[in-house]
């Protein structure tokens, strides 16, 4: 039996596909001998349209179904209403998550949580350390809720054992407290020479499609580059639309065969498409990207792809990848795509070296020191 501290991660994601920040920490912790429990983001009543009503109802009592994946215990849970919507929803979430934590945690456990509205449940659970791992500025992402989330941040700053953030901008949310800065990274196995030669005049975007993705800008970029194609990989998560595209994304897709939306794909397939892309894109809306440290930069550079991004971050407060091209307008973005397509093999190697220095395993010592104390 390992003498290392048990770890519980209250995630903002399901386990499948295991491609996000919490998946990396859970996997590495298990490899290093910690007993790891990964509590998935809760399924709300919308999940019932896919069946499984009996298990969904059972999970409300705190008896979520579980599986073990690569030595990580994955626990599913459900909720009546997503906790971010309002205070009553958050209270319901606290009750339901609290039941699970009382069952799974112990006085020697470290609990990591990613959503600020989970704090009340985490605070009440038996644990040695309670740590907030913040990858998004939730108050800015969710319109009209900034004051409520500011209250969460004040409570967490005053009471949590540690706060970890992915960017210096997020440090400002915690008053006089100095959070630990641990940026995002890339999975070690992704850093490799592309397995296929790139196709001509093909852009790619990989990531969840939300209001952060500037579909309007990309519509105009496609108009400016009539002989280019755009491949989009990722599921939709637009408020109020379930898994359907927004109106502006649908307008982009309606261009026709030059724009192809492939949905969410397994990692191996994503890498194949990424390796064949001429240019990788990050068309983020700045007002939806505050505090971000884009995992796309790391993933794209791990395969050597040239990257064009909108100006949604301050380069002086981040560690941007080498040879990144930044554009402010659709015209500049299109011109940058053409310039990126002619970047050299030396620049490609520079990007892969940068990604190799920014893997999750390289980040682990700083993150584990913050979490385990």
**Which CATH number do you get for residue 240?**
3.40.50.2000
- Whether residue 162 is found in the same domain as residue 237: no
What is the spatial distance between Cα 303 and Cα 19, in angstroms, rounded to a whole number?
Answer: 16
- Whether residue 181 is found in the same domain as residue 195: no
pTM for the model stands at 0.92
- Whether residue 201 is found in the same domain as residue 333: yes
Residue 127 near residue 105 (C-beta atoms within 8 A): yes
Q: In angstroms, how far is CA 332 from the centroid of its own chain?
A: 27
- Whether residue 100 is found in the same domain as residue 205: no
What is the spatial distance between Cα 24 and Cα 182, in angstroms, rounded to a whole number?
Answer: 13
- Whether residue 55 is found in the same domain as residue 89: yes
What is the spatial distance between Cα 310 and Cα 332, in angstroms, rounded to a whole number?
Answer: 9
Q: Give the count of domains, the chain.
A: 2
- Whether residue 255 is found in the same domain as residue 217: yes
Asked if residue 97 has pLDDT above 90, the reply is yes
* Residue with tokens 């290392």, as numbered in its chain: 4
Range of the domain at 26: 7-185+360-372
- Whether residue 240 is found in the same domain as residue 304: yes
Asked if residue 48 has pLDDT above 70, the reply is no
- Whether residue 177 is found in the same domain as residue 204: no
Quick one: pLDDT at residue 147? 87
What is the spatial distance between Cα 98 and Cα 170, in angstroms, rounded to a whole number?
Answer: 27
Residue 1 included in any domain: no
- pLDDT band for 276, please (50, 70, 90 cuts): very high
Across the range 292-304, mean pLDDT stands at 95
What is the spatial distance between Cα 335 and Cα 341, in angstroms, rounded to a whole number?
Answer: 10
Query: What is the per-residue pLDDT across 319-348, written as a single tens digit (0 to 9) for each?
Result: 899 999 999 999 999 999 999 999 999 999
Residue 2 included in any domain: no
3-state SS class at 137: coil
Residue 7 near residue 37 (C-beta atoms within 8 A): yes
Quick one: pLDDT at residue 1? 40
What is the spatial distance between Cα 115 and Cα 12, in angstroms, rounded to a whole number?
Answer: 7
Q: In angstroms, how far is CA 259 from the centroid of its own chain?
A: 24
């Amino acid at each position: 039996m390992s003498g290392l501290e048990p770890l519980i991660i209250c995630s903002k994601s399901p386990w499948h596909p295991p491609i996000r920040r919490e998946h990396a920490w859970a996997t590495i912790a298990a490899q290093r001998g910690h007993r790891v429990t990964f509590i998935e983001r809760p399924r709300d009543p919308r999940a019932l349209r896919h069946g499984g009503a009996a298990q969904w109802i059972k999970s409300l009592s705190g008896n979520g179904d579980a599986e073990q994946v690569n030595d990580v215990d994955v626990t599913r849970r459900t909720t009546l209403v997503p906790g971010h919507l309002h205070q009553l929803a958050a209270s319901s979430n606290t009750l339901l998550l609290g039941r699970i934590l009382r069952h799974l945690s112990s006085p020697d456990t470290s609990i990591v949580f990613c959503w600020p509205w989970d704090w009340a449940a985490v605070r009440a659970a038996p644990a040695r350390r309670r740590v907030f791992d913040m990858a998004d500025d939730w108050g800015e992402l969710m319109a009209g809720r900034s004051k409520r989330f500011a209250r969460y941040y004040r409570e967490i700053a005053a009471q949590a054992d540690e706060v970890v953030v992915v960017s210096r901008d997020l440090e400002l949310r915690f008053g006089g407290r100095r959070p630990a800065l641990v940026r995002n990274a890339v999975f070690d196995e992704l850093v490799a020479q592309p397995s296929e030669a790139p196709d001509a005049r093909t852009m790619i975007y990989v990531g969840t499609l939300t209001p952060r993705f500037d579909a309007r800008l990309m519509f105009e970029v496609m108009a400016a580059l009539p002989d280019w194609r755009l491949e989009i990989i990722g599921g939709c998560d637009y408020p109020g639309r379930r898994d359907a595209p927004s109106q502006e994304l649908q307008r982009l897709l309606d261009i026709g065969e030059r724009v192809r939306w492939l949905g969410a794909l397994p990692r191996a397939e994503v890498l194949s498409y990424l390796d064949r892309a001429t240019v990788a894109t990050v068309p983020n809306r700045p007002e939806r990207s505050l505090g971000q440290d884009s995992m796309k930069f790391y993933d794209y550079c791990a395969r050597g792809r040239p990257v064009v991004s909108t100006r949604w971050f301050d380069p002086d407060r981040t560690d941007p990848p080498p040879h990144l091209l930044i554009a402010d307008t659709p015209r500049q973005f299109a011109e940058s795509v053409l310039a990126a397509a002619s970047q050299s093999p030396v620049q490609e190697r520079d990007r892969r070296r940068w990604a190799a220095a920014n893997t999750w395993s390289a980040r682990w010592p700083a993150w584990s020191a913050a979490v385990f104390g």
